[in-house]
């Protein structure tokens, strides 16, 4: 069975526009495919900092890891592996949808550091099918905000179709 993992990261929680847009797409994709949606709110339950115990999980054989040790995303031998040619992602064949809501307009500019970083990380673990949905200019007034939300909603409908 397919699973859709929805990671919400906004400090505004479920009320955040990015969280609402992500939920809209997850719901539509799940309805079309019969997938199960798993939602993780990383603002409410943040990922822990790297500690000696967590680092020990990286070198502990998989069958011997505790439940806590199994919860990290970038894991050598699990989500990527090292080769003589460099790291190779092990999560190929999956898609990622990234929702970015921003007060200004950054997509396609040198100021868009977020998209390049996220695309690079996802590629590192093997996810190279990445779709970005932007709702930008939200702090530029009511009209630009409404237009941005309408464009993002339209893009979600395209992706879900």
Q: Decide: 75 and 41 in contact? Cβ < 8 Å.
A: no
* Spatial contact of 32 and 65, defined as CB atoms under 8 Å apart: no
Question: Comparing 7-16, 33-42, 59-68, 146-155, which segment has the lowest mean pLDDT?
Answer: 59-68
The 10 Å CB-count burial string (b at 16+, else e) for 125-153 is bbbeebebbbbbbbeeeeeebeebbeebe
Q: Which domain holds residue 39?
A: 3-47+91-160
CA 83, distance to chain mean position in Å, is 26
Task: Establish if 65 belongs to a structural domain.
Answer: no
Residue 109 covered by a domain = yes
> What rounded mean pLDDT belongs to the chain?
91
Does 54 fall in a domain? no
Instruction: Kindly state whether residue 8 falls inside one of the protein's structural domains.
Output: yes
Tally of domains within the chain: 1
In a domain, 36, yes or no: yes
For residues 126 and 92, the answer to whether their CB atoms sit within 8 Å is yes
Give pLDDT tens digits for 13-28: 888 999 999 999 999 9
Residue 160 has pLDDT above 80, yes or no: yes
CATH number at residue 32: 3.40.50.360
pLDDT at 105 over 80: yes
Q: What is the mean pLDDT of residues 71-98?
A: 89
Quick check: 73 pLDDT over 80?
no
Cα-Cα-Cα-Cα dihedral of 54, 90, 24, 32, to 10°? Answer: -140
Residue 30 lies in a domain: yes
Note whether residue 38 is domain-resident.
yes
Distance CA 11, CA 129 (A): 27
């Amino acid at each position: 069975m397919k699973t859709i993992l929805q990671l919400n990261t906004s400090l505004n929680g479920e009320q955040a526009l990015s969280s609402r847009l992500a939920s809209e797409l997850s719901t539509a994709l799940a309805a079309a495919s019969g997938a199960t949606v798993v939602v993780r709110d990383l603002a409410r339950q943040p990922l822990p900092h790297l500690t000696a115990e967590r680092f020990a999980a990286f070198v502990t054989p998989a069958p011997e890891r505790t439940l806590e040790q199994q919860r990290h995303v970038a894991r050598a031998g699990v989500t990527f592996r090292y080769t003589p040619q460099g790291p190779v992602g092990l999560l190929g064949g999956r898609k990622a949808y990234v929702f970015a809501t921003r007060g200004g307009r950054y997509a396609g500019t040198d100021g868009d550091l977020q998209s390049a970083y996220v695309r690079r990380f996802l590629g590192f673990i093997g996810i190279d099918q990445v779709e970005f949905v932007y709702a930008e200019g939200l702090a530029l007034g009511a009209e630009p905000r409404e237009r941005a939300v309408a464009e993002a909603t339209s893009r979600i409908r395209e992706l879900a179709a």
